[in-house]
Amino acid sequence: MTQVLEIERLPLGNGFVEWWRLNSPQTRNALTDEMVQALRDQATRAQKDSQLRVVVLCGNGGHFCAGGSLGGFASSIGSPLPEGAQDPLVQVNREFGQLLQQLAELPQLLIAAVQGAAMGGGVGLVCVADWVVADQQAVFATPEVTLGIVPAQIAPFVLRRLGDGLARQWLLGGQRWSANQAQQAGLVQTVIQATDTAHWHSQLQQQLEICAQAAPQAVAVTKKLLAAIGGQSLDASLNQGAQAFASALRSAEAGAGLKAFSSKQPAPWTCNAGGTS
């Protein structure tokens, strides 16, 4: 039986990188219930994996993700809910939001590598990534409102990523955006003009080597600080930051990193310190 999510684990510095490949090319990797559950299972596992440093989320078949699959909702489309009944669609939709929360809270660096289409829920996956690399030919869109649907679970993450003005333009307009336009909006950090598959992968490898320069514990703590800022006062953020700084400076990781820096040697977690990228 074909797996809807392929996992490949490879060495990276003193740890590992995993490639999570959405594997339903016939649907352009649409987010079925099975796909969402597979991603949630892997996110739960990764949360506890201290050796995992980077997750690369991508799609097989030339596309990233076409968004949510409505196939299972066929009998519900245009059909009002009976009076007094609980709507099962609520929980199904919320589970996708829980996946986005899990991905956003991963202690590892999360890279979205986008080729082809990133639509609807696919844009939600992109918005929770720490770093987004897109092929020059990639196309982004949140077309839900043009279909009479609400972009319910991705809206908070699009708003967080793009800011109010651009989030409204994307979510309320539904138009398509090129990779360069997505970069201008702040959704994409790096656009690659890939000449072929080998070139695309070599460029992604360069991004991984950049990521490998970052100390894994420092990355995890910094991600927690960034996630907390929007929900607390400035004083609380700075107090949390001071505690994190003090703890980090006293850690073995900082000791090794600063010692390597002073001796002009690569830090032990980098690709140049004896690990394989």
Which tokens go with 232? 């607390």
**Strand segments (E) across the chain:** 5-12, 15-22, 52-59, 109-114, 117-119, 131-135, 139-141, 176-178, 190-192
pLDDT at 78: 75
pLDDT in tens, 155-206: 999 999 999 999 999 999 999 999 999 999 999 999 999 889 999 999 999 9
Confidence of residue 273 (pLDDT cuts 50, 70, 90): very low
Which tokens go with 243? 């505690």
CA gap 240, 234 in Å, rounded: 10
pLDDT at 277: 29
Mean pLDDT of 222-246: 94
Which tokens go with 55? 């997750």
Homologous superfamily assigned to 5-76+84-212:
2-enoyl-CoA Hydratase; Chain A, domain 1 (3.90.226.10)
CA-based nearest residue to 141, from 112, 103, 113, 179: 179
pLDDT at 274: 37
CA gap 122, 96 in Å, rounded: 11
CA-based nearest residue to 144, from 70, 218, 94: 70
CA gap 276, 53 in Å, rounded: 13
Mean pLDDT of 122-134: 98
Confidence of residue 75 (pLDDT cuts 50, 70, 90): low
C-alpha distances out from residue 109 to 55, 158, 215, 244, 276, Å: 6, 19, 11, 18, 18
Which tokens go with 101? 């929360």
C-alpha distances out from residue 16 to 52, 57, 178, 235, 246, Å: 5, 14, 32, 36, 27
pLDDT in tens, 85-112: 888 888 888 999 999 999 999 999 999 9
Q: For 215, which DSSP code? A: -
pTM listed for this prediction: 0.92
Backbone angles phi, psi at 154, to 5 degrees: -85, -20
Tell me how far the alpha carbon of residue 41 is from its chain's centroid: 15
Mean pLDDT of 252-272: 92
pLDDT in tens, 196-215: 999 999 999 999 999 999 99
